[in-house]
Copies of this chain bind each other. A is one copy, B any other.
Amino acid sequence: MKFGGTSMAGTERIRRVAGIVRRQQAAGHEVAVVVSAMAGETDRLVNFCREANALYDPAEYDVVVAAGEQITSGLLALTLQAMGCKARSWLGWQLPVRTDDAHAKARIETIDSDGLIASMKSGEIAVIPGFQGLSPDGRVTTLGRGGSDTSAVAVAAAVQADRCDIYTDVDGVYTTDPRIVAKARKLKYVTYEEMLELASVGSKVLQTRSVGLAMKERVRVQVLSSFIDDDAPPADDLPGTMIVSDEELEGLEMESQLITGIAADKNEAKVTLTRVADRPGAVATIFGPLAAANINVDMIIQNVAKDKGETDVTFTVTRADLARTQALLEGQKEAIGYFRMICDSKVAKISVVGVGMRSHAGVAATMFRALAERGINIQAISTSEIKTSVLIDEDETELAVRVLHTAYGMDAE
């Protein structure tokens, strides 16, 4: 079970969390709980670090910020004890959660689970601070913001858990953002691949890394709400959304859905270089320097050369990287040999995601037709095996999502 910062914000809320945990144990489960810091606490600690040293040493930053989860893990253990449960905390360095030494963005390598399993078998609830680990040279590491989801999946894998329940402030994964489409439906199941695509295009339910790890380690993950009443269905009845493998999904559903979800991402910016020489290696002179600067390029479209052996190249980067991208490409103008650079950060990427897409032609065609009927212009297209994305004007984001939700027959009754 994993609880986020909103659920852990103060002793009163921690008491509610402890109640949920206790009911899960009472249902006959051995339980490990991964917790985040109290909402706001990590920000407080990060601000201290910034004030102390603008260019902070990530190793000392980790020492400071890991304290937030240490506090909530001790408090949840105390609260469970007050309810008559056996419980103890296991800090990152105690298990230990072994990571690489990339401080502030470490990756989990292994979790020694012997002590944890023995403790759980004895009826003790294990409480584990998320987000933190131990580097090869014995120092505190953290996994980067939102890393507690990844901690939870890693712990579930290490103890070979039947299920990893992620309690959040939403009650599951929806076909699209319910704030945009009132008729969005909660999904009962979603595959790892679909969840990865949905997460990477703007659905903020789970950290992308945690989904990738769950897929690799075959951990069954359930997303469900921590704001539940005592008479809500227990977690075993799967009231949230289960994230499962393709194979499991096939066994569960008679007919897989064509499209699982629609996501909108307003975090990209479009760059067009006009009249680039249409010769071998020209594209490498553009994207080589960007890769070297660690700037991630998403969609790429190269128009067919019309005349004079010249072509226009369009691609997208995150908005945060746009200024650096511009500066870099202006410096490379001669080397690349383009005529003009046109940048536009008022764009949105709309993606339809679904494993059913693999076996069905016409998914993209439906998309283009539906958007064209409403006069929405498509600026770029990219596809993967289970996803089709288009780039459109940012102002048309909500309209496009609603149109597509209806076009794919996903609206709730």
Contact = CB atoms under 8 A, between A and B. Distances in A.
Interface stretch (A49-57, A167-175, A177-185): A49-57
Given A11-B48, A52-B14, A67-B71, A78 B93 contact: no
B71 A53 contact: no
Contact of A78 (B57, B66, B76, B140): B57
A52 B64 contact: no
A89 B63 contact: yes
Contact of A61 (B53, B68, B74, B94): B74
Contacts of A208: none
Contacts of A79: 52-53
Interface residues of A, number: 41
Interface string A120-157: 00000000000000000011100000000000000000
Contacts of A201: none
A64 B54 contact: no
B53 A64 contact: no
Nearest to A14: B52
A307 to B, nearest CB: 58
A60 interface: yes
B82 A75 contact: no
A203 interface: no
A141 to B, nearest CB: 13
Contacts of A73: 63
Contacts of A94: 138-139
Given A88-B59, A88-B60, A54 B82 contact: yes
Contact of A75 (B64, B76, B93, B139): B64
B52 A140 contact: no
Nearest to A115: B138
Contacts of A68: 67
A139 B70 CA distance: 13
A60 B78 contact: yes
Contact of A48 (B45, B53, B59, B75): B75
A77 interface: yes
A60 B48 contact: no
A53 B81 contact: yes
A11 to B, nearest CB: 4
